Structure 1
Amino acid sequence: MTRIAFLGLGHMGLPMARNLVKAGHDVVAFDVMDAARSAAADAGLFVAPSGPDAASGAEVVITMFPAGRHVLEAYQGGLLDAAAPGTLFIDSSTIAVDEARTAHSLAVEAGHRNIDAPVSGGVVGAENGTLAFMVGASDADFEAAKPLLEAMGKRIVHCGGPGLGQAAKVCNNMILAVSQIVVGEAFVLGERLGLSHDALYDVAANASGQCWALSTNCPVPGPVPTSPANRDYQPGFAGALMAKDLGLALKAIEQTGTDAKMGRLAQELYAAFASGDGAGRDFSSIITDIRDGRV
């Protein structure tokens, strides 16, 4: 049993924390939002009065925050000072690569260990303990964290040193965004040519067009009963979050001088999509804006 402080109890963080409890770990939780703390308490978690209080006495501190500034503010706002020397900090937020490396440096300078371990799999993956973790860490820190990550996920990939978990996440989500856009465009084109959704799906899902955005997140109702399109695009992964992640991708593209035309275009399209009704809907519902010519 490991004593874990889990900070950030939103749609992803709360089920992740619950899975750690199910695995037999001692979890002390905290979130800045009253509603999130109440939900955690209702779920049977022990809720600390503050982040530093949760970190005090913990062997591992896991953070699941909305943005990089929240991670850095928490680290510099008492979290690192409250933890015992040598505490392992695991940040599973999706943040910029340079922010992850800054967080790592801050933790190490304070006498701690730190890894970046962003996730893929959405709320369903968090609830079912089937997340994929992309980990940036030293070999030793990766091995120390792996049993805890395995309590929350099914695929744990060591991507390299500090920051490289975030690098993998930003690249993966750029691929996903571009794929989801073109799958939506293909279905709209098929509709206008008189092709049924089922026929296009049956061809593409068993041919060279097969991809996750089609076979799991199919953007039209019918062919994949579990896709968000069959529940009025209620988000597994909201458009606002995809726009945020593509903003991180754009930052990385510009910092590295990469000629990534499709990545830039996907960022523009999802930024426009998320500025309207798409913010709170599943990112696959961008097909509705494609139909109407809004993106």
Structure 2
Amino acid sequence: MHGTVQSFCGVQRINRAHFPHLQISANNDLFPAMSLRFARFLSTTPTLRANYGFIGLGQMGQHMARHIYAKMEPLDKLYVFDTVPEATASFVDTVTQQKPEAKSQLHTLDAIPKFVTDVDAQLDFIVLMVPEGKHVKGVVSELVDAYKKNPQTGLTTFLDSSTIDIPTSVEVHQMVKKELPEFDFIDTPVSGGVAGARKGTLSFMLSREDHKDVAPDLVKLLNMMGTNIFPCGKNHGAGLAAKLSNNYLLAVTNLAVADSFQLAKSFGLNLQHYAKLVSVSTGKSWASVDNCPIPGVYPENNLPADVGYKGGFITKLTKKDLVLATDCANQYDRALFLGPTARKWYLKACEREDLGSRDLGVLYEWLGELEEKNGEYVDKKTSESFKV
């Protein structure tokens, strides 16, 4: 599916990923004497091959790519790359054990330009899930250079599911549209964390104005990895704006939940009973229920609090998103009233590796280790004094 128009079994079809609003009439030269319903049927038959690329097989990416592999059509192909060869090898071993019959459809690459030069046919989509904006910019620059050196007849859409700053994403989008006008670069950040990636229940946020603006082929790909697609606005960066706004709220409410439970503890309350109360009261939030920081409240849910706050959405990543959100707010001249204070607390927490590398619910435990003396806080575990 690497061309704008392709031929299968003597019948030409249009790549719908690049023409989401296209209406096909009965006398259209591309589909002579063919109804719209039949044309749509053709666009979903397994004979119409799709070629996918995936860059970044970390904690999130490995699961997202695994779901693509598991749900590919028989003629589809998936090309993957990670800067850590061991991550690629582990991914291949895992997925081919789960679905050995599709092994021939999976290909590993050892360099970014090979997504252009070492594929059977031009890729329809290349998904990125990398750590920071500089990585997104570097990867896409390499891809653009490779496509310019090796001109293609079709179109490729770059999907960036990384959480990065909005200005960098806009810059990369503008670069792609300038150098490869027919290509597209779409911000598609996700919500749901590692657990959502593992279960295939992620929510995708897109810079699209409405659901009708999301091409069917793109919907199909995103539905392989998740369960929700949210158009967030027509301007590029709207998906990231939604992601950062949501995670700003998460960071602030998580800190408030930790503070509230420490307050309840100081009052001598039974914290398991208090947690149940909050779950049906006005203070309810994701941080207080779905990620309850009190061990033993919801043992059936295997929450991070029940395993020493291991796994989950680690504090370092919460800090990263909070910093991105507050930085972008400054760039957009938006004053945040809680952000600066919350940012200081997360930055201080992440100075301790044992806090930064564990689930954000660990802030409840950390606040219990602090005491206030003469206008400063003392970390009883490290004996460090500090102001926030």
* TM surpasses 0.5: yes
Letter in 2 for 1:61: I
Match of 1:163 among 237, 247, 256: 237
User: 2:91 matched to 1:40?
Assistant: yes
Amino acid at match of 1:22: A
State the match for 1:100 in structure 2. Answer: 169
Please give the alpha-carbon distance, in whole angstroms, between the structure 2 residues aligned to 1:52 and 1:141: 30
- Between structure 1 and structure 2, the one with the greater Rg is 2
| RMSD over equivalenced CA pairs, Å | 1.7
Quote the Cα distance in structure 2 between the aligned partners of 1:252 and 1:156.
24
**Aligned residue number for residue 36 of structure 2:** none
Contact 1:132 1:154 in 2 (8 A): yes
Matched position secondary structure for 2:80 = strand
Alpha-carbon contact 2:209-2:231 (below 8 Å) kept? no
SS across alignment from 1:79: helix
Partner of 2:51: 3
Q: Secondary structure of 1:58's partner?
A: coil
What is the CA–CA distance in structure 1 between the aligned matches of 2:308 and 2:116, rounded to whole Å?
40
Q: 111, 131, 147: which is aligned to 2:202?
A: 131
Tell me how far apart the structure 2 counterparts of residues 172 and 136 of structure 1 sit (CA, whole Å).
15
| Deviation of 1:51 (Å) | 1.8
**Structure 1 position 249 matched with structure 2 position 325:** yes
Residue from 109, 120, 124 that aligns with 1:59: 124
Aligned pairs, how many? 294
Q: Deviation at 1:54?
A: 2.5
Aligned to 2:79: 28
**Where in structure 2 are there 5+ consecutive unaligned residues?**
1-48, 97-105, 371-378, 380-387
Q: For each residue in 1:120-178, what CA deviation from the matched residue of structure 2 results, as whole angstroms up to 9, or x when unmatched?
A: 11111101100111111476763242211111011110101210100001000010011
CA distance in 2, matches of 1:32, 1:282: 25
SS at match of 2:123: coil
- Contact map agreement 1:113 1:141 (CA 8 A) in 2: no
Candidates 133, 150, 153, aligned match of 2:223: 150
Q: Which amino acid aligns with 1:285?
A: V
Mapped to 2, the partners of 1:125 and 1:119 lie a distance apart of 9
Q: Secondary structure at the match of 1:61?
A: strand
Q: Which moved more, 1:258-267 or 1:141-150?
A: 141-150
Match of 1:275 among 344, 347, 351: 351
Deviations 1:231-285 (A, max 9, x none): 1101211111111111101111211222212122111111111121212101110
Whole-angstrom CA distance in 2 between matches of 1:15 and 1:202: 32
Indicate if the aligned counterparts of 2:128 and 2:162 stay in contact, CA closer than 8 A.
yes
> In the aligned structure 2, how far is the partner of 1:5 from the partner of 1:194?
55
Distance of 1:224 and 1:283 partners within structure 2? 17
The residue type paired with residue 183 of structure 1 is: V
Matches for 1:199-238 after TM superposition, within 5 Å: 199-225=273-299, 226-238=302-314
Q: Distance in 2 between matches of 1:21 and 1:138?
A: 29
The residue aligned with 1:16 is 64
- Any unmatched runs of 5+ in structure 1? none
Picking from 279, 284, 293, the partner of 2:361 is 284
1:213 aligned partner, one-letter code: A
After superposition, what is the alpha-carbon deviation per residue over 1:201-221, rounded to whole angstroms, capped at 9, x for unaligned? 121110101111111000110
Give me the whole-angstrom Cα distance separating, in 1, the residues matched to 2:255 and 2:176.
Answer: 38
1:158 aligned partner, one-letter code: P
3-state SS of the aligned residue for 1:115? strand
Identity %: 33
Query: Cα 1:242–1:55, aligned 2, differ >3 Å: closer, same or farther?
Result: farther
How far 1:292 moved relative to its partner? 1.3
Write the distance in 1 (CA, Å) between the matches of 2:257 and 2:61: 30
- Partners of 2:298 and 2:345 lie apart in 1 by 25
Deviation sequence 1:34-81 (CA, Å, 0-9, x none): 2212212212342112122134421111000000000001111x2123
The answer as to whether partners of 2:275 and 2:294 remain within 8 angstroms in 1 is: no
- Rounded Cα–Cα distance in structure 2 between residues aligned with 1:97 and 1:58: 26
Q: CA distance change for structure 1 residues 73 and 138 in 2, over 3 Å: closer, same or farther?
A: farther
Once residues 52 and 236 of structure 1 are traced to their aligned partners in structure 2, the CA distance between those partners, rounded to angstroms, is 34
Asked if the contact 2:79–2:107 (Cα under 8 Å) also holds between the matched residues in 1, the reply is: yes
Determine the structure 1 residue equivalent to 2:159. Answer: 90
